[in-house]
Amino acid sequence: MYAHPDDQIHPENISIADEVIAYIQKRKCDFRVSTSCGGPMLLPVNMKPPKPTDLQVKAGDYTIFISVHQIRYLHSIHMDMIPLFFEHIEDRPVGE
């Protein structure tokens, strides 16, 4: 993907839904927005580790890493970005 040299990428302009921040706080880990065939996906970093090129935004006490391939198109981070299969394990800490 080509990026124009004058592209202004400002991660601080991305809004994060309160539900996402609460979800991350409950899971007690950093997350990453990465590319999937269905669009941007929010996954724990133990499933999708951050890359050195990722941009970072704070979400409560934790960090959301955002792929450079997603940052240009991302205006908000919301619960629809969390895969449905996490609904069944949402109450368990990551790694269990």
Write out the chain's pLDDT in tens, 96 residues: 344 444 566 777 889 999 999 999 999 999 999 888 888 999 999 999 999 999 999 999 999 999 888 888 888 999 999 987 655 554 555 454
| Of 33, 29, 35, 37, nearest in space to 16 by CA | 33
C-beta of residue 54 within 8 angstroms of C-beta of residue 32 = yes
Distance CA 35, CA 73 (A): 11
pTM of the model: 0.78
C-beta of residue 23 within 8 angstroms of C-beta of residue 91 = no
Give the chain's domains with CATH numbers. 11-83 (2.60.300.12)
SS3 (DSSP) at 36? strand
Name the phi and psi angles at 62, rounded to 5.
Answer: -120, 175
Rg of the chain in Å (alpha carbons): 13
Q: Token pair for residue 75?
A: 């205006």
Residue with tokens 């394990």: 89
